């Protein structure tokens, strides 16, 4: 993992520990419970979310223990002796069911379900949300870029603009979403991601002239020469000097790989550069563009302006998930000791779904995604004929004729991870397979069609009955 920690117990919020100590001394530590992780809205005003971060979450979960120094720190914070002894022997021993990493998911449906004793399920909440929310946000952003890039490669250039060590997980998530490589060398090593990079303006400024800088770089990196051409004057200096160096390389039996544009009007400069390169017989030289790119700018460059750009380097906008600061994923208790639990709210959209559940994806006759159905785990999907809108129960959809596939699978059993690791590019392949089954109307950037997620009639009945009993039990007396 990115940080050199052997124990991850303190990777949590303080209130998780205060509640855990409370459960311990209230004789609740053996109570069994279920929590669901889900998100309430898609990021970027989009029609879907790419689920990412599962593998990193599982790796931390398997190493989630408290070291002696952790225990001493918690002792200094006022935690009691018996509880600290419990933590010193702590290992997660529960079960986790999850959607596959790279799956296309939608608001308000369980993406991950945690089952175990109440203390262990509570303690892992914060890092679960931290990892899954962030990587899902970045993977979704990267896939939006992938959708408009017209099969042109793009690289994660975001390390210098990222929020601290979050850059490591962000680089992994970017590749899951579709980035072909990263400039982040540590992420490349940790996650087996291809790394790439060219040169900065400082390289060119360190020489007496631009041509000397280009020649030196071509000499040192002859098989991978990419020249940054906008340090001084793209049209009158950068491109002409790059052409000169390219011709010199040809005499040595080499080829200039690409030029990079990092400022100004990228459509205008790419067209000028392409014309100049082609006239010089350098049709093989690629044009790479960077500088504050996002999915909207790239779509405009390629579709509206016909910019002859062959690849992109994307930094700030992708690595930070701009303009959405976070995915609003939450982690809510749904059952304790076999009894369904739920959270009520004046805002009906925030009322949670009780009980242990399974999510089924309903496919139409063409095999395309049509609806998602949330059922209680004791329901047989072949016996569920209709699903209800979770907020407006009078709105119902027949699913009797549809093929249904479960989305949640066991990934941790009795504390042991039971799924094999996959590289980010393999997870991206799975994402591509699944996204191909999502109808285009859900992929629009402007007013995407809302993908329908419904709940079974039995789940609706359980929720309604539980709502009534909660209100009656909590009336002021």
What domains are defined for the chain?
Answer: 139-319 (3.20.20.70)
The average pLDDT across 42-62 equals 98
| Predicted confidence (pLDDT) per residue in 149-205, tens digit | 999 999 999 999 999 999 999 999 999 999 999 999 999 999 999 999 999 999 999
The per-residue pLDDT for 349 is 76
| Predicted confidence (pLDDT) per residue in 62-102, tens digit | 999 999 999 999 999 999 999 999 999 999 999 999 999 99
| Predicted confidence (pLDDT) per residue in 333-367, tens digit | 999 999 999 999 877 778 899 999 999 999 999 99
Q: Which two tokens stand for residue 32?
A: 């069994």
What is the rounded CA–CA span in Å between residue 239 and residue 206? 19
Burial class (CB in 10 A: 0-12, 13-18, 19+), 204: buried
**Global confidence as pTM:** 0.96
| Predicted confidence (pLDDT) per residue in 238-273, tens digit | 999 999 999 999 999 999 999 999 999 999 999 999
Half-sphere exposure of 92 (CA within 13 A, CB side): 27
Peptide bond between residue 137 and the one before it cis (omega within 30 degrees of 0): no
| Predicted confidence (pLDDT) per residue in 431-454, tens digit | 999 999 999 999 999 999 999 999
Q: What does the chain come to in residues? A: 477
| Predicted confidence (pLDDT) per residue in 452-463, tens digit | 999 999 999 999
145, 185, 274, 308 from 271: Cα distances, Å:
22, 32, 5, 6
For the cut 60, the answer to whether the pLDDT of residue 16 exceeds it is yes
The average pLDDT across 114-126 equals 98
Strand (E) or helix (H) holding 98: strand 95-98
Backbone angles phi, psi at 230, to 5 degrees: -115, 20
Backbone angles phi, psi at 238, to 5 degrees: -60, -55
Own/partner contacts of 124-127, CB < 8 Å, gap of 24 or more, are 124/12, 124/61, 124/64, 124/92, 125/12, 125/13, 125/16, 125/35, 125/331, 126/11, 126/12, 126/13, 126/16, 127/8, 127/11, 127/12, 127/57, 127/60, 127/64
Residues 6+ apart with CB under 8 A from 408: 97, 98, 99, 110, 112, 113, 357, 358, 359
Per-residue H/E/C for 328-345: CEEEEEEEECCEECCCCC
The per-residue pLDDT for 46 is 98
Q: Pairing relation of β-strands 226-228 and 258-261?
A: parallel
The per-residue pLDDT for 2 is 45
Kindly indicate the confidence band of residue 1, based on its pLDDT and cuts at 50, 70 and 90. very low
CA nearest 424: which of 228, 195, 118?
195
What is the rounded CA–CA span in Å between residue 314 and residue 292? 7
The average pLDDT across 410-423 equals 97
For the cut 50, the answer to whether the pLDDT of residue 59 exceeds it is yes
Strand (E) or helix (H) holding 23: helix 14-25
| Predicted confidence (pLDDT) per residue in 281-320, tens digit | 999 999 999 999 999 999 999 999 999 999 999 999 999 9
């Amino acid at each position: 993992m990115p940080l050199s920690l052997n124990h991850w117990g303190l990777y949590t919020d303080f209130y998780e520990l205060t509640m855990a100590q409370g459960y311990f001394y209230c004789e609740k530590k053996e109570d069994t419970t279920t929590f669901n992780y889900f998100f309430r809205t898609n990021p970027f005003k989009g029609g879907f979310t790419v689920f990412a971060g599962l593998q990193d979450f599982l790796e931390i979960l398997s190493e989630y223990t408290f070291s002696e120094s952790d225990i001493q720190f918690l002792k200094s914070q006022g935690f009691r002796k018996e509880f600290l002894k419990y933590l010193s022997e702590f290992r997660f021993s529960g079960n986790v069911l999850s959607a596959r990493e790279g799956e296309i998911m939608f608001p308000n449906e369980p993406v991950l379900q945690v089952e175990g004793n109440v203390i262990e399920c509570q303690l892992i909440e914060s890092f679960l949300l931290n990892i899954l929310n962030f990587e899902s946000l970045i993977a979704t952003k990267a896939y939006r870029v992938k959708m408009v890039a017209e099969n042109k490669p793009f690289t994660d250039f975001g390390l210098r603009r990222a929020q601290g060590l979050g850059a490591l997980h962000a680089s992994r998530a970017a590749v899951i979403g579709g980035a072909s490589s990263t400039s982040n060398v540590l992420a490349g090593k940790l996650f087996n991601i291809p790394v790439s990079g060219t040169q900065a303006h400082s390289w060119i400024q360190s020489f007496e002239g631009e041509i000397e800088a280009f020649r030196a770089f071509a000499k040192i990196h002859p098989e991978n020469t990419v020249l940054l051409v906008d340090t001084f004057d793209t049209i009158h200096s950068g491109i002409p000097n790059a052409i000169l160096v390219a011709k010199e390389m040809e005499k040595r039996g080499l080829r200039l790989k690409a030029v990079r544009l990092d400022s100004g009007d990228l459509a205008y400069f790419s067209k000028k550069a392409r014309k100049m390169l082609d006239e010089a017989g350098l049709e093989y030289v690629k044009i790479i563009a960077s500088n504050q790119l996002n999915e909207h700018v790239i779509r405009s460059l390629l579709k509206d302006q016909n910019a002859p750009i062959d690849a992109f380097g994307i930094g700030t906008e992708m690595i930070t998930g701009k303009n959405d600061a976070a995915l609003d994923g939450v982690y809510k208790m749904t059952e304790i000791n076999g009894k369904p639990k739920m959270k009520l709210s004046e805002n009906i959209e925030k009322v949670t779904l009780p009980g242990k559940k399974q999510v089924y994806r309903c496919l139409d006759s063409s095999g395309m995604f049509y609806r998602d159905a949330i059922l209680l785990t004791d329901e047989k999907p072949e016996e569920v004929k209709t699903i209800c809108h979770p907020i407006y129960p009078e709105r119902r959809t027949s699913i009797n004729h549809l093929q249904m596939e479960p989305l949640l699978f066991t990934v941790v059993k009795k504390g042991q991870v039971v799924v094999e690791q996959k590289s980010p590019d393999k997870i991206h392949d799975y994402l591509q397979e699944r996204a191909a089954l999502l109808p285009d109307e859900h992929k629009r950037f402007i007013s995407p069609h809302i993908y329908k997620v419904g709940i079974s009639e039995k789940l609706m009945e359980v929720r309604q009955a539980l709502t009534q009993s909660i209100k009656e039990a909590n009336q002021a007396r």
